[in-house]
Amino acid sequence: MPALAARMNEVSISASVVMTMKARELAAKGIKVISLGTGEPDFPTPPHAIEAAHKAALAGDTKYPPQDGTKELKEAVQRKFRRDNKLDYALDEIMVANGGKQCIYNALMATVDPGDEVVIPAPYWISYADMAKVAGGVPVTVNCPQNNGFKLRPEDLEAAITPKTKWVMLNFPNNPTGAACSREEMKALAEVLKRHPHVWVMTDDMYEHLVYDGFEFCTIAEVAPELKDRTLTVNGASKTYAMTGWRVGFCGGPKALIKAMVNMQGQATSGISTIGQAAAAAALDGPQDLVAERAAIYKQRRDLVVDMLNAAPGIACHKPEGAFYVFPNIAGCLGKTTKGGRRIETDTDFALALLEEKYVAAVQGAAYGMSPYLRISYATDTESLREACARIQEFCRELS
């Protein structure tokens, strides 16, 4: 067999995908597995978005789309940025992609040269580092420990930036921790970034509407307008509107960067599904009451999961400001043996044993750049969460 490209040695399969596959294998055997590994809302797509897609299909809106997105969706995105983020982007400063993930990929591929550094706060979404590597870049992770609420400190950001830095990635509310930066904290990061004009700033705001306890979301270009001309603001329909399968992401940024990203997308996928774009435009422009209603439900789930995990021996769970994840510390469980005879030396051992013995799927913190933790998604129904946490408590009580 001919050889694969050397770059594939740098890219790992997502740990959340691996755990989901293992959970499905058990489920196929008739075992009731509760999966807390996937970051996917369990709510349905809003009916008016589905209806808009149906109408678009019936009207014949099924031809090749523009590479950068339909005018209707780009105008809806423009209105969204003004409404939610107080950001004004011209239509040629906006592009639509196959999920926010492709926006990020396009940007890195369009800008990163071999050896360029991409600064990534850790814990981080699994794909950031791998996409940086595929683009020829070098991921530089910055530790954001639990004792700082998993947030990036300005002094640590300053220390990570070098003449080789091409991008700084920001993701707050964060996947996997749920941590979010206040306006004051974001301004402090902006002050650092202002001192380094050679650095692009990317902010992944996918969880902006999933914040709790009166927390107010902000994005970097909003709190520091001086950075707007080198900031890419990334978002999408997946988390806010429960539209993961529609694959609609969007971003706003400087015209020259967007043009380069559209060119890159043209070589990869061209435009995205026309009916998906119609659905996303309807979601962005339609009633927004569902967003707040669902966020209130997520808050209840967060509180339930945090309380139940903190009642499990050996686990300490931080209460996050946003997203739909918790990132509990399992240090108190290491060095012990499960009822089934498995030795727990790492968070990966913990996650695998939990799945195989109690049929609960979660993802080890090592996959996100920080151990010994687990990422647990509470984007599932309350009863399943209650049962899953009860199984985790039992698993921990049985450790010896």
Q: Where are the domains positioned within the chain?
A: 6-44+290-397, 47-285
Place of tokens 């809302």: 41
Helices 255-268 and 99-111 cross at an angle (nearest 10°) of: 110
Model pLDDT, residue 15: 73
Model pLDDT, residue 9: 83
Question: What are the CA-CA distances from residue 92 to residues 71, 75, 113, 177, 276 (Å)?
Answer: 10, 11, 25, 34, 20
Model pLDDT, residue 19: 78
Residues 160, 142: contact at Cβ < 8 Å? yes
Model pLDDT, residue 31: 87
Model pLDDT, residue 21: 80
Annotation: CATH topology of 47-285: Aspartate Aminotransferase; domain 2 (3.40.640)
Tokens representing 218? 């902000």
Instruction: Give average pLDDT by consecutive 10-residue segment, the chain, 400 residues.
Output: 86 76 84 89 97 98 97 98 98 98 98 98 95 96 97 98 98 98 98 98 98 98 98 98 97 98 96 97 97 97 98 98 98 97 96 95 95 97 97 98
- The Cα–Cα gap between 370 and 136 comes to 23
Model pLDDT, residue 11: 80
- The Cα–Cα gap between 37 and 52 comes to 31
Q: Which residues neighbour 382 within 8 Å (Cβ) at sequence distance 6 or greater?
A: 300, 301, 304
Q: The domain at 6-44+290-397 falls in which architecture? A: Alpha-Beta Complex (3.90)
Question: What are the CA-CA distances from residue 139 to residues 131, 167, 194, 195 (Å)?
Answer: 9, 10, 21, 21
Model pLDDT, residue 22: 81
Looking at the DSSP assignment, which residues form a beta bridge with residue 203? 170, 233
